[in-house]
């Protein structure tokens, strides 16, 4: 991890660019998968699962018996931990059910908004090396609170055609029992177009590799919404001389172990702290099972030394990190200066993995600089807000003239007439 000391401001933007490793012909390959599933449905899903996941799947839908069996395979310790995390996530996301007031913008003109659940949502849970049951919590809980009518989950089977028991248990624990053994771009296609087995949904959530991400991007052209444009996970830590170098190193590594394309950035006003962190990184790295992954991620990573914490925050706002840790004195006092970040962790004991699993905040967050213009997943992601208005005769009499004048100026005379015809009838009734 290279260190840059006091780079000139004009160079900052360049450091804030994310490394990029696009697969060759990604879009063509994914488009072909989408088309195959659209045309061939379940047959294509089985064929593609055999090709990519190396397993022949008889029943795409997970059976009630498989779900029950999973429950017996998960340890009580893990069940207890999942329950604790679920409780906190439920508390935090329930607090997002804030009702807006109905307003009377003028006497007789009542306007309000109402949150209505998106009817059908699809949750994608990656398989691969780590069974991400925590993502089931992060997507499933707000979907349940929102009241989505249909919540379905897709996740790839392992080489024996099974789904990780922790994933099945967590889904079932939340009341999600419609689970399909399909992964990759083909899962996104199934959710977008529907097959005989897998239902078409209105919005697709969840992380995934480049193929999944590209598939989510492409199906938006077919009227499907997605949670977020996604990229590799990332963390930026701002640390001052009061930070604990061991803690900082552990936070950087917990991001770096996600994948070789993850990026971790350390920003500090103290060269000494940066040096201490580098030593701690080497110590901790040596005992990590995923050390080779983390090492590769560290190669794309860097630390920056700047003149003050305010400058460090300026740099972070330009970078717009998915996760931002403020390991600095009086961290909370700097919270108001944060302009662009997905989720912010304040102080030495707010480690990122708390938010990844159990503190209550969501871990599905904007990456790749999207924290400038996107929020992470929340209750909002599972609803749409419909506006309503109820205008009385006297309300229309009050506002009618303004509408007529504006419609006429926009040369939309039928818009004007919709008011005039009503005002005339009100007049005639008198």
418 binds a copy of itself (CB under 8 A): yes
**Of residues 89-148, those binding a copy of itself (CB under 8 A):** 91-92, 95-96, 98-101, 103, 105-106, 109, 111, 113-114, 116, 118-119, 129-134
Residues in CB range of 12: below 8 A, 6 or more apart: 315, 318
Report if residue 257 touches a copy of itself, rule: CB under 8 A.
Answer: yes
Contact residue for a copy of itself among 69, 150, 290, 296 (CB under 8 A)? 290
Q: Does 387 bind a copy of itself (CB under 8 A)?
A: yes
Judged by CB under 8 A, which of 72, 160, 286, 411 binds a copy of itself? 411
For position 209 contacting a copy of itself by CB under 8 A, the verdict is no
Distance in Å, CB of 188 to a copy of itself, minimum: 15
* 255 assigned to a ligand binding site: yes
Is 289 a binding residue for a copy of itself by CB under 8 A? The answer is: yes
Q: Are 179 and 136 in contact (CB under 8 A)?
A: no
State yes or no: 408 annotated in a binding site: no
Burial class of residue 2 (count of CB atoms within 10 Å of its CB; 0-12, 13-18, 19+) = exposed
177 lies in the binding site for a copy of itself (CB under 8 A): no
CB atoms within 10 A of CB 95: 10
Minimum CB separation of residue 40 from a copy of itself in Å reads 21
Cα–Cα distance measured from residue 184 to residue 201, given in angstroms and rounded to the nearest whole number: 16
Distance between CA atoms of residues 242 and 236, nearest Å? 17
Instruction: Could you list the beta-strand ranges (E) of 323-382.
Output: 323-327, 343-346
Return the range that interacts with a copy of itself (CB under 8 A); candidates 43-51, 240-248, 267-275, 299-307: 240-248
Provide the sign of the torsion angle of the four alpha carbons 415, 417, 418, 423, taken in this order.
Answer: positive
Work out the burial of residue 386: count CB atoms within 10 Å of its CB; fewer than 13 is exposed, 13-18 middle, 19 or more buried: exposed
- Helix residue ranges per DSSP H, 152-257: 165-174, 184-193, 210-219, 245-256
Q: Please provide the size of the chain in residues.
A: 430
Q: Give the one residue of 58, 159, 414, 429 binding a copy of itself; rule: CB under 8 A.
A: 414
Q: Which of residues 337-376 bind a copy of itself (CB under 8 A)?
A: 338-362, 366, 368-376
Per-position x/- string for 38-77, each x denoting binding to a copy of itself as judged by CB under 8 A, each - no binding? ---------------------------------------x
Q: Give binding residues for Zn(2+) as ranges.
A: 255, 258, 356, 415
């Amino acid at each position: 991890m290279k260190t840059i000391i006091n780079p000139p401001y004009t160079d900052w933007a360049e450091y804030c660019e994310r490394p990029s490793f696009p697969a060759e012909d990604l879009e063509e390959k994914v488009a072909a998968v989408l088309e195959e599933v659209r045309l061939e449905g379940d047959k294509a899903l089985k064929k593609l699962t055999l090709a990519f996941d190396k397993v022949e799947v008889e029943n795409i839908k997970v059976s009630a018996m498989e779900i029950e069996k999973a429950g017996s395979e998960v340890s009580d310790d893990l069940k207890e931990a999942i329950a604790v995390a679920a409780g906190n996530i439920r508390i935090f996301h329930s607090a997002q059910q804030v009702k807006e007031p109905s307003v009377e913008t003028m006497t007789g003109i009542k306007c309000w908004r109402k949150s209505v659940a998106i009817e059908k949502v699809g949750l994608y849970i990656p398989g691969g090396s780590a069974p991400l049951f925590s993502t089931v919590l992060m997507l499933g809980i707000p979907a349940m609170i929102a009241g989505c009518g249909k919540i379905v989950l897709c996740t790839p089977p392992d080489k024996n055609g099974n789904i990780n028991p922790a994933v099945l248990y967590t889904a079932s624990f939340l009341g999600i029992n419609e689970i399909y053994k399909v992964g990759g771009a083909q899962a996104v296609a199934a959710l977008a177009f529907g097959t005989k087995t897998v239902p078409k949904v209105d919005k697709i959530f969840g992380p995934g590799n480049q193929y999944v991400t590209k598939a989510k991007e492409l199906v938006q052209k077919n009227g499907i919404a997605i949670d977020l444009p996604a990229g590799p996970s990332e963390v930026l830590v701002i640390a001052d001389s009061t930070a604990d170098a061991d803690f900082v190193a552990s936070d950087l590594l917990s991001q770096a172990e996600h994948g070789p394309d993850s990026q971790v950035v350390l920003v500090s006003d103290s060269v000494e702290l940066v040096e201490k962190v580098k030593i701690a990184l080497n110590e901790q790295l040596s005992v990590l099972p995923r050390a080779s992954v983390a090492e590769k991620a560290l190669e794309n990573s860097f630390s920056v030394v700047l003149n003050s914490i305010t400058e460090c925050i300026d740099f972070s706002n330009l970078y717009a990190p998915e996760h931002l840790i403020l390991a600095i004195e009086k961290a909370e006092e700097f919270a108001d200066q944060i302009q662009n970040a997905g989720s912010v962790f304040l102080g030495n004991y707010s480690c990122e993995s708390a938010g990844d699993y159990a503190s209550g905040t969501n871990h599905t967050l904007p990456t790749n600089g999207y924290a400038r213009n996107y929020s992470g997943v929340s209750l909002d992601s599972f609803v749409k807000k419909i506006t309503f208005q109820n205008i009385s005769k006297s309300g229309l009499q009050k506002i009618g003239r303004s509408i007529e004048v504006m419609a006429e100026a926009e040369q939309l005379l039928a818009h004007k007439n919709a008011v005039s015809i009503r005002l005339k009838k009100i007049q005639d009734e008198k």
